[in-house]
Amino acid sequence: MSFGINENYLKLPGSYLFSTIAKKVEKYKSEHPDADIIRLGIGDVTQPLCPSVIDALHKAVDEMGKAETFHGYAPDGGYEFLRHAMAENDYRSRGLDIADDEIFISDGAKSDSAAIEEIFAKDAVIAVCDPVYPVYVDSNAMSGRAGDYLPDKSAWSRVIYMPCTAEHNFAPQIPYGEKPDMIYLCFPNNPTGEVITKDELQKWVDYAVEIGAVIIYDAAYEAYIDDSIPGIPHSIYECDGARSCAIELRSFSKNAGFTGLRLGALVLPKDLVCKKDGIGNGTSLHSLWARRHGTRYNGAPYIVQRAGEACYSAEGKAEIKEQIAYYMKNAAYIRQGLIDAGFEVYGGVHSPYIWLRTPGNMTSWEFFDTLLEKAQIVGTPGAGFGPSGEHYFRLTAFGSYENTVRAIDRIKELKAELL
C-alpha cells in the first residue's frame, strides 16, 4: 500500500522563518556555550501575567476541582462571558456595532489567520503587504492558492504583493487594476511597526466593497496605539462599510501577555456575504465560519477564557496598560538609541516593533549573522517577511528593560564597524 501527500507542502521554501532563526541560534550556542545572548527577535513577551489574570486563573482552577462548577467542552464560539466582555469593551464602548455572537473565541490570532482561508475558494486570489507576517502567505500556499514559489524573486506566482516602502511610510498602496478576493492588512504592522490613519483605512474598505473583496484585518497590536496622536484606528470597523467586507483578528498574546496561555478571537459580522456570481453567491461567511469552527475546533480552555475576561475588569485594564507602557518604554529606548547611533529607523511609536535599515547595504541575513557573532544579539531578518523586507531588520521591545539597554549599548559599540 502506498499513499500520497499534499504536494503543496513540497513547494514551501525551507522552514518557517522563526524555526530557521532558532536553529541558527542553537548552533551558535553549541559553538559558544558561554555566550551571553540577548534575544530581541521573536515577538514573545517576557513580563509575568498581571495579578488580575493570575487571580482569575486560580479561581477558575478551583472551580474545575468541584463537580458543581466543573466545565468540560466550551461552547463552539466561546463562553458568553468572554464574548460579551470583548464586544462591550473593544467595540461597543467605541460606538462600534459588533454583537456578542459575531465574536468567535480561539487559541490565538496565528491560528485564525492561518485557518480563515479555508472558507474561501481554492482559486481565490490573495493580496498581502510586503513585508508580511509569513503565516498569511504560507497557509494559503499549503492550500495551493499561492501558486508556485519563485526562488529568484522570493515570491509566489499567484500572490499579489503590495510593497510597503519608506517612500509611503511603509503603508501598502491599493492595487488598482488588480482584483484580489482576499486582502490581508495588519496595523499596527508586523514587522514594520508602522500604522495608517482612519482616512487611509477607509480607502481600503471602499476599494474592497467596490470589487467585492474581503479584508482580513489583523489587529493583534491595537493596544499599543498611542491615542495622544489622533486619527489611528483601533479597529477596521471604525470605517463605514467595514461590516460588509472585513474580518478582524484579535489577540491576547501581546496586550495581556498570553503567548503561553493562548487566547484570541475572530470577529465576523453577519453582514458579510459572498457577492461573487456563481456558487456561493449570497452565502453568509458568518455561518460558514461557525460551521467550520464547530467542526474543527474544541474551544480555548475554560480557565484561559476566565483569564481573558479578567483583562476587562477595571483592575485588569490598569495592570495591562502598565505592562504595555513597560514594553513601549523599551521600544522608545531602542528607537532613540538606534537613531543616535546613525541608523535609519521606523516603528516603535505605536508598536513594540522597531524596523531598521541594515547598514552598508548588508543583506538582512548578513546583518543577522553580524549581530549574533559580534554582539550576541538575536533579531529578525527582514527578508524573512517578503521581498521588500530585504535590507531591513526587526527588533522587538518584548525583552526586559535591562537587556534592552545592554543590547543597544552593544550595537552602539559596533557603530564604527557597521556604519
pLDDT digits (tens, 9 = 90+) for 175-197: 998 999 999 999 999 999 999 99
Rounded Cα–Cα distance for residues 260 and 54 (Å):
13
| Residue 387 backbone dihedrals phi, psi, to 5 degrees | -55, -40
Rounded Cα–Cα distance for residues 29 and 47 (Å):
24
| Residue 405 backbone dihedrals phi, psi, to 5 degrees | -60, -45
Query: CATH number of the domain at 14-43+316-418, please?
Result: 3.90.1150.10
Whether the per-residue pLDDT at 396 is higher than 80: the answer is yes
Query: What is the per-residue pLDDT for 281?
Result: 77
22 — pLDDT class (breaks 50, 70, 90): confident
316 — pLDDT class (breaks 50, 70, 90): very high
Which residue(s) pair with 265 in the sheet? 105, 250
Query: What is the per-residue pLDDT for 277?
Result: 67
Hey, where are the domains in the chain? 14-43+316-418, 54-312
Our measurement of the distance from residue 172's CA atom to the centroid of its chain's CA atoms, rounded to an integer in Å, reads 16
Residue with cell 499596527: 188
419 — pLDDT class (breaks 50, 70, 90): low
Mean pLDDT of 88-104: 98
280 — pLDDT class (breaks 50, 70, 90): low
Mean pLDDT of 2-14: 89
Query: CATH number of the domain at 54-312, please?
Result: 3.40.640.10
Query: What is the per-residue pLDDT for 2?
Result: 82
- 74, 297 in Cβ contact below 8 A? no
Whether the per-residue pLDDT at 50 is higher than 80: the answer is yes
DSSP 229: S
232 — pLDDT class (breaks 50, 70, 90): very high
Phi-psi region of 393 (alpha: psi -120 to 50; beta: other; left: phi over 0): beta
Mean pLDDT of 24-29: 92
Look at residue 108 and give its three-state secondary structure.
coil
pLDDT digits (tens, 9 = 90+) for 125-169: 999 999 999 999 999 999 999 999 998 888 999 999 999 999 999
Mean pLDDT of the chain: 94
Query: What is the per-residue pLDDT for 191?
Result: 96
Contacts 24+ apart (CB under 8 A), 203-209: 203/174, 204/174, 204/239, 205/236, 205/239, 205/240, 205/241, 205/242, 205/245, 205/246, 206/241, 207/174, 207/176, 208/183, 208/245, 208/246, 209/241, 209/244, 209/245
Whether the per-residue pLDDT at 364 is higher than 80: the answer is yes
278 — pLDDT class (breaks 50, 70, 90): low
Rounded Cα–Cα distance for residues 396 and 380 (Å):
9
pTM: 0.95
Query: What is the per-residue pLDDT for 19?
Result: 82
Query: What is the per-residue pLDDT for 372?
Result: 94
CA torsion 318→320→326→329, rounded to 10°?
-80
Query: What is the per-residue pLDDT for 42?
Result: 78
Closest by alpha carbon to 353, among 40, 109, 30? 40
Whether the per-residue pLDDT at 259 is higher than 80: the answer is yes
